[in-house]
Amino acid sequence: MTLQEFLALRHQFRWGGVAGDDCTTFCGTWLRENVGVDPAEAYRGTYSTAEGAHDILSQAGGLVAFAAAALEPMGFVRTDEPSDGDVGVVLAPAGMAGVKEVCAIRFGPLWALLAPSGVIAKKLDHVAAWRAPDGDRTE
């Protein structure tokens, strides 16, 4: 499945990654489809609210630390130059709160993320990004 095909699917936002995805498990689902590993597998179904997700991320030391701990043992490598299909932590608009860190997938010059309203692709700044162990991909 190409990234464009994956993003075109109907994605439903649900905390905890069961019968839908949240922003973090959305990236895990993409990686499962693309490279055959799901870094979010151990967390799916262990929470069902924003508060539950926040608790997991807080215990991990924040979203970047959480993502690094899930991805790097599987062979993902940090990159300063993300390309299509790479996953990362980006700064996304968050209503009146300003911005917040969320997980997203690199899509051309944009980052695709799953919001309660569905998949959104925007030009956003990334805080950290990782490439799958298969190295550079062409899609």
Question: Rounded to whole angstroms, how far apart are CA atoms 43 and 70?
Answer: 10
Number of domains in the chain: 1
- Beta strands 87-93 and 118-122, pairing class: unpaired
| Domain-embedded: residue 44 | yes
Given a cut of 70, whether residue 135 has pLDDT beyond it is: no
- Beta strands 99-107 and 110-115, pairing class: antiparallel
| Domain-embedded: residue 136 | no
Supply the CATH number for residue 48's domain: 3.90.1720
State the residue range of the domain holding 116.
3-130
Query: Residue 95: pLDDT band by 50, 70, 90 thresholds?
Result: confident
**What's the predicted TM-score (pTM) here?**
0.93
| Domain-embedded: residue 135 | no
Sequential DSSP letters for 68-87 = HHHHGGGT-EE-SS--TT-E
Provide the percentage of residues in the chain whose pLDDT is more than 70. Answer: 96
Q: CA angle at residue 107 from 61 to 11, to 5 degrees? A: 75
| Domain-embedded: residue 8 | yes
| Domain-embedded: residue 109 | yes
